């Protein structure tokens, strides 16, 4: 009789992912992020060396922070490395956001297809289309009060694509300028 092989041990990353709670409610995810060390550290870094006027409220400071690059990156880091993992579930979103997500996802899929099969002009048009729908999704997330700023809405859109396997954390953590440089370089190779 043949002995069964012992089940393999999960990798450190797999073990971490298995121990993390999955969150599909976008408002809960944002609330958890705002209470996280990633948020607090980025907030403190954003205001380091700055002296807001005495009449600036905490809500105004928070809005200024959440309109910037450091805040959007802290959300991505929170989802990648924090205690919670995100799972996109369409029923958690109002209809206008679901439609915006669907448009953004389809435009991202089309961009990937054009990268694999299109020429330089096709790729540029597809990326412009994707950017338009990315901005539309960010606006809908703000309109539905899921996020406070379009910058956070754009980061949230990237997190949705990552969950659906259409983007990566390393790509999402690049600055907009770095992504533009990568795209320009890729265009030279086509």
Per run of 10 residues, the mean pLDDT along the chain (length 190 residues) is: 51 62 98 97 95 94 96 96 96 98 97 89 91 97 98 97 94 73 59
Q: What integer pLDDT is reported at residue 152 of this predicted model?
A: 98
In three-state secondary structure terms, 86 is: strand
Q: What integer pLDDT is reported at residue 180 of this predicted model?
A: 63
Asked, for residue 64, whether it belongs to a domain, the answer is yes
Asked, for residue 141, whether it belongs to a domain, the answer is yes
How many helices and strands in the chain, by DSSP H and E? 10, 2
In angstroms, rounded to a whole number, what is the distance separating the alpha carbons of residues 167 and 159? 8
- Six-digit token string for 155: 């980061």
177's CB contacts (< 8 A; 6+ apart) are none
pTM: 0.84
Asked, for residue 57, whether it belongs to a domain, the answer is yes
Asked, for residue 6, whether it belongs to a domain, the answer is no
Q: Number of structural domains, the chain?
A: 1
- Estimate the crossing angle of helix 150-163 against helix 120-143, to 10 degrees: 120
Asked, for residue 11, whether it belongs to a domain, the answer is no
Cβ neighbours around 62 below 10 Å, total = 16
Q: What integer pLDDT is reported at residue 190 of this predicted model?
A: 47
* Residue 118 domain boundaries: 21-189
Q: What integer pLDDT is reported at residue 2 of this predicted model?
A: 45
Measuring CA to CA, which residue among 158, 171, 141 is closest to residue 79?
A: 158
Asked, for residue 7, whether it belongs to a domain, the answer is no
Q: What integer pLDDT is reported at residue 92 of this predicted model?
A: 98
- Six-digit token string for 112: 């990937």
Asked, for residue 8, whether it belongs to a domain, the answer is no
Q: Nearest 5°: phi and psi at 22?
A: -90, 130
- Six-digit token string for 108: 């991202």
Measuring CA to CA, which residue among 185, 175, 178, 183 is closest to residue 154?
A: 175
Query: Residues 154, 138: contact at Cβ < 8 Å?
Result: yes
Asked, for residue 171, whether it belongs to a domain, the answer is yes
Q: Nearest 5°: phi and psi at 146?
A: -85, -40
């Amino acid at each position: 009789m043949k002995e069964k092989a012992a089940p393999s041990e999960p990798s450190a990353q797999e073990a971490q992912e298995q121990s993390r709670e999955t969150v599909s409610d976008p408002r809960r995810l944002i609330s958890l992020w705002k209470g996280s060390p990633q948020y607090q550290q980025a907030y403190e870094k954003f205001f380091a060396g700055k002296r807001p006027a005495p009449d600036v409220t905490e809500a105004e400071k928070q809005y200024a922070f959440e309109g910037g690059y450091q805040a959007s990156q802290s959300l991505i880091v929170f989802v990648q490395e924090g205690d919670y993992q995100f799972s996109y579930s369409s029923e958690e979103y109002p209809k206008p956001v679901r439609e915006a997500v669907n448009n953004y996802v389809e435009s991202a899929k089309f961009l990937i297809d054009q990268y694999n099969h299109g020429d330089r002009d096709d790729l540029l048009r597809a990326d412009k289309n994707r950017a338009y729908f990315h901005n539309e999704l960010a606006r809908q997330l703000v309109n539905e009060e899921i996020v406070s700023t379009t910058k956070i809405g754009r980061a949230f859109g990237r997190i949705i694509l990552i969950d659906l396997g259409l983007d990566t954390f390393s790509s999402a953590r690049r600055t907009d300028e770095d992504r533009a440089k990568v795209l320009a370089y890729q265009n030279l190779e086509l």
